[in-house]
């Protein structure tokens, strides 16, 4: 069974990503084709990138990096809960993505974003980052408006139509995640 991580991409006090991540988890947990887990990057206490060797060399020295690599390495696909800060991805999420490399490769990702324009610009940035990390991102995307899907920008109250969008995203993610798991298994057999 596929293991899909729902990655909370904001670490600031007062953030709403845990509410959005919980909503995604509640919609997904009854599926029988994958297991879902919420992963809060705040729990990993990653400093600004502090490894001496670039992550592509897979020579992690710091305990926090090894812990993060182990978590990401054990997953088959990801749903990123992406807040949009200043027309882009949060610094905390970008930093977490940059800490490791091989653990992201040949996996699939989908995006649930939020902000004044639904987080669309953050997702466009993430799609470019995913390409460099060799992560296949699915087309379906849940875009949540800070104006209409949140009460006072603090209490998450999603419109009903987002459930169907999320279901489509997860369908695509499971399909791609399964295909790429096969790719990784073939690569491992060759090694």
Q: What is the pLDDT of residues 145-184, one digit of tens each?
A: 999 999 999 999 999 999 999 999 999 999 999 999 999 9
Whole-Å CA distances, 79 to 56, 68, 109? 23, 16, 6
**Residue 191: pLDDT band with limits 50, 70, 90:** confident
Token pair 């090894």 is found at 66
In angstroms, rounded to a whole number, what is the distance separating the alpha carbons of residues 189 and 191? 6
User: pTM above 0.95?
Assistant: yes
Residue 155 three-state SS:
strand
Domains of the chain and CATH, by start: 2-190 (3.40.50.360)
Q: Report the interhelical angle of 91-98 vs 120-132 (nearest 10°).
A: 10
What residue spans of 43-190 are helical by DSSP H?
Answer: 63-73, 91-98, 120-132, 161-190
| pLDDT above 90: residue 189 | yes
pLDDT value of residue 158: 97
130 neighbors 97 (Cβ within 8 angstroms): no
pLDDT at res. 83: 96
pLDDT given at position 42? 97
What's the CA gap between 116 and 147, in Å, rounded? 7
Q: Which residue has the tokens 């969008």?
A: 165
Q: Which two tokens stand for residue 74?
A: 């054990």
Mark residue 45 as left, alpha or beta (left: phi above 0; alpha: psi -120 to 50; beta: remaining).
left
| Number of residues that make up the chain | 191
Tell me: the pLDDT tens digits for 70-98? 999 999 999 999 999 999 999 999 999 99
pLDDT at 139 (0 to 100)? 98
Q: Strand 88-89 to strand 77-85: parallel, antiparallel, or no bridges (unpaired)?
A: antiparallel
């Amino acid at each position: 069974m596929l293991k899909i991580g729902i990655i909370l991409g904001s670490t600031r006090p007062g953030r709403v990503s845990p509410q959005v991540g919980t909503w995604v988890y509640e919609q997904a947990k009854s599926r029988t084709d994958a297991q879902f887990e919420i992963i809060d990057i705040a729990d990993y206490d990653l400093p600004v990138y502090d490894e001496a060797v670039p992550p592509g060399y897979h020579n992690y020295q710091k305990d926090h990096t090894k812990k993060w690599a182990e978590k990401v390495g054990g997953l088959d696909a990801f749903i990123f809960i992406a807040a949009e800060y200043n027309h882009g991805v949060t610094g905390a999420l970008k930093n977490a993505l940059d800490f490791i490399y091989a653990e992201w490769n040949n996996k699939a990702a989908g995006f649930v974003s939020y902000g004044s324009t639904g987080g669309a610009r953050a997702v466009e940035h993430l799609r470019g980052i995913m390409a460099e990390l060799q992560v296949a991102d699915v087309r379906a995307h849940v875009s949540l408006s800070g104006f209409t899907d949140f009460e006072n920008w603090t209490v998450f109250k999603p419109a009903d139509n987002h459930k169907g969008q999320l279901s489509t995203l997860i369908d695509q993610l499971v399909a791609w995640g399964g295909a790429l798991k096969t790719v990784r298994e073939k690569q491992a057999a060759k090694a």
